[in-house]
Structure 1
Amino acid sequence: MSRSAPSPIYTLRGAGGPLNCLHFSCHGGDTPLLFSGSGKGAIHMWNLNTRRAEKIVEGHCGSSVVWVGTLQGSETLVSQGRDMQVCLWDLSEGRSEVMDSVCTGSVGFCQCSVLETSPGTRLLAFAGQQTEEIKIIELPSKTAVCTLVPDAKLGMVMCITLWQPDSGPGPLLLAGYEDGSLLLWDVTQRAKLSQAKAHPEPVMCLTFDTKCLRGISGSSDNKICSWMTDRQNNLQLQDCVTLLNPGVSQLCIRGDGKLLASAGWDHRVRIFGWKKLRPLAVLQYHTDLVLSVAFSDHQDPRQRLLAAGSKDQRISLWSIYNEAADTG
C-alpha cells in the first residue's frame, strides 16, 4: 500500500439494524445529508453537520430496505424494500410523506435503478416477480415500457443499472445474474446486445462508469472483474483483481473517476485507483460484513467523504485521497 491506512473521521450509530444501503445528498442547500436504509425497515436522514439523524421514517412495514436514492433536481426520496414496494417520498418543506409507490413483485435483494430521460420523466427498472425478468416502467405515469427476459437460464437477477449513452438511440441496461453472467440490454429495442461470463459465482454487485464506458463487478468469490463496452455495444472482459478474502457486497466509483471502493464480507473496505485498479488502502474499522459504500457528492473536492455501512449497525465516514494526487 502506498500510504498507511487512515481511521474514520467519525461514525454514525443508532441505525438499529444492518446498513444495507447509503446515499449522499450534499450538493444542494446548507445541510449535507446521508440517507441510510436498514435491515429493520428504517430510513435515516443523517445531518452531516450535526452528525445526528435529522429524521427517521418507516415505510416498508419493517421489511429490509435494500436501496435509497434521491431524484435529481427534486426533493423526492426513493426507497426500495423487501416488502415488494418502491416508495417515493416528498421531502419538500420538511415533509416526509409517501406520495406514491410501485409494487415490484420481487422479494429479492436486487436494487432498482432510476434514469432521468427528460425533465420530470424517469425510467424505473427493477427485478420482476419471475426469477429472470427485469421490468421497466415510466414515472410518474407508471406506464409499462418493457420486460426483459434472457433466452437462456441464467438464474436470478442480482443487480442492474440503467444508463443513457451519449450517442445512439435509447437507454441501455446492464444486468448481473446468478450464474455469473453480465448482459447488456437495449431498452428501446427490448433486445439483448451482448453477454459475458464475468464470474463463476453469482454477480453480487456492479457499477458502471458512463464517461469511459467501463464497469466492474463483484461476486461471492475473491475477485473483482472490470469490463467495458465498445462502440458496437459488445461487452469485453478486462482485468481481474484477486482479493485476500472472498465476498463483495457493493462497489462504488467516485464521481471524479479516480477511486473505486469495495465493501467486503471480511469487514474491510478496499480502495483502488479506478484507472489501473491499483490497490491503495484497506480500511479496517467494522466488526461484521460491510454491506454498502458510497462517495459523497460535495461540490468542493476537499470535503468529499466515503461512507461505509455494516452489519454491525454502524456507519463509518472517511476522508481519503482528496488532494490532487495520482491514484492510478
Structure 2
Amino acid sequence: MPAPPDPRFLLRGDMDGNVHSLLFWIEPHVEHLYAGDGRGTIHTWDLKTNRIKNQLSDGESPCFNLHRTNDSDLIVQRRHGIIDVYKASESNWISQLLPEKNAMLVPLDSSVVGILSLKTYNIESMLDPSKLSYNDKLGTIMAMKPLGINDLVLVAYEGGQLLLWDMKKNDVLSSLTVEQYPMTFDFDISLMQGILGSASDKLEIFKILPNHTLSHKSTILLEHVSGVSVLSVRPDKKLVTVGCWDGCIRLFSWKKLRPLAILREHNETIYDIVYSQREVEAYDTKCLMAATGKDGCISMWDIYN
C-alpha cells in the first residue's frame, strides 16, 4: 500500500470536542463548509480564509445531520427528533422549526420511518414494518437512504436487517440479513451496489438485482478495527472512504474494492465524511473531502484527483 497523502488543511476552532456533521455549500461566489457540533452550534467555515465566518446556535441539542434544500434553506436534525430550519435572509440566517425539499425521512418509534412533508410540516405517510413476521426483531432504525429512483428507500435496522422499501406502496420489496448494529451504509445507483459498515470488523458489499432483490456480494475484513461509523462513496464513483471507531479513514477503490491508503490524522472516532459536489476554487480541486469526529478537528483532503 503506498504512503498516504497529507491533509491539505486542518480546521480547528471554537468547536465542541464532538463534531457530528458536515455539509459543503459551494456556489460561484460562496465556498463554505458547515459543521454541527455536540453543543448544538453550527459553525460556518469560509474555505477561502479557512476561518469561521459565523455561528448559529439554537439550544444545546447536538447537530447530528445537516441538509440543504433547493430553496437554500439549511436543515438541522438534532437529538430526540428535533428539526430546525434556517432560512437565508441576506447575509444572516433566521431560525425556524422544520425541514427540506418537499419531504424528508425521519426515524420514528417502533422501527417506523416517517415521511415528513416540508410543505405541511406533517408526517404525510410512513414505512411501517408492523405487518412483517420479523417486525419485533428489527429494533431501532440505524441508517436510511432514498435511492432517487422509483421511490425506493433502503433502511438498516439495529437487529441486522436491511430492507428495500417502495415508498408509494408502503411495501418491502426485499430484505437482507447483515451484521447486527449496522452503523452506516452508502449506495451507488450507477452500479446498483452498496456498502455497509457495522459495530464489527466487516464491510459488507451488496447489490440490488433487476428484480429488486437484495443480494450479498462480498465481505471485506478490516484489520485492527472494532467498528465502522461512516461510509461515503465519492461522487465520481472512484473511491469509497471508510471512517472507523479508531479514528482512521480507510480508502478503497470503489469498483474493485482494492485498499489504497489509511489516513491517520484523527485519533478519535470518525463521525462524518463528506465530498464537495463541485470544484472548490479555494483549494484548486474538483472534489474536496472533509472528515471530522470526536476529536473536534476537521481535516481537508484532496485525494487522488
TM over 0.5, yes or no?
yes
Deviation, 1:123, is: 2.0
- Corresponding position of 2:43: 44
Normalising by structure 1, what TM-score?
Answer: 0.86
1:159-308 equivalences in 2 (<5 Å): 159-165=143-149, 170-199=150-179, 201-244=180-223, 245-299=225-279, 302-308=285-291
Deviation, 1:247, is: 0.8
SS of match in other structure, 1:32: strand
SS of match in other structure, 2:278: coil
Q: How many residues align?
A: 295
SS of match in other structure, 2:90: helix
Q: Is the 8 A contact 2:7 2:302 kept in 1?
A: yes
Q: Could you list the per-position Cα deviations for residues 167-206 of structure 1 after superposition, in whole angstroms to 9, with x for gaps in the alignment?
A: xxx411100010121000000000111000121x211011
Match of 1:138 among 105, 113, 117: 117
Q: Is the 8 A contact 2:75 2:98 kept in 1?
A: no
Q: Distance in 2 between matches of 1:87 and 1:34?
A: 18
Deviation, 1:135, is: 0.6
SS of match in other structure, 2:285: helix
Q: Which amino acid aligns with 1:298?
A: R
Q: Distance in 2 between matches of 1:229 and 1:299?
A: 31
Is 1:5 aligned with 2:40? no
SS of match in other structure, 1:275: coil
Q: Mark the CA change 1:259 to 1:131 in structure 2 (over 3 Å): closer, same or farther.
A: same
Q: Distance in 1 between matches of 2:263 and 2:184?
A: 20
Deviation, 1:20, is: 1.0
Is 1:69 aligned with 2:71? no
- Shifted more, 139-148 versus 31-40: the winner is 139-148
- Corresponding position of 1:118: none
Q: Is the 8 A contact 2:154 2:162 kept in 1?
A: yes
Is 1:147 aligned with 2:126? yes
- Corresponding position of 1:321: 304
Is 1:93 aligned with 2:90? yes
Normalising by structure 2, what TM-score?
Answer: 0.92
Deviation, 1:144, is: 3.1
- Shifted more, 295-304 versus 216-225: the winner is 295-304
Deviation, 1:143, is: 4.3
SS of match in other structure, 1:91: strand
Unaligned runs of 5+ in 1: 103-113, 115-120, 323-328
Unaligned runs of 5+ in 2: none
Q: Distance in 2 between matches of 1:146 and 1:82?
A: 22
Q: Percent identity?
A: 30
Q: Mark the CA change 1:123 to 1:101 in structure 2 (over 3 Å): closer, same or farther.
A: closer
Q: Is the 8 A contact 2:153 2:166 kept in 1?
A: yes
Q: Distance in 1 between matches of 2:239 and 2:124?
A: 34
Give every structure 1 segment of 4 or more consecutive aligned residues whose post-TM-superposition deviation is greater than 6 Å: none
Match of 1:157 among 141, 147, 164: 141
Q: Distance in 1 between matches of 2:289 and 2:10?
A: 11
Q: Distance in 2 between matches of 1:96 and 1:171?
A: 32
Q: Is the 8 A contact 1:75 1:92 kept in 2?
A: no
Deviation, 1:290, is: 1.4
- Shifted more, 233-242 versus 296-305: the winner is 296-305
Q: Distance in 2 between matches of 1:126 and 1:18?
A: 22
Q: Which amino acid aligns with 1:91?
A: A
Q: Distance in 2 between matches of 1:24 and 1:225?
A: 28
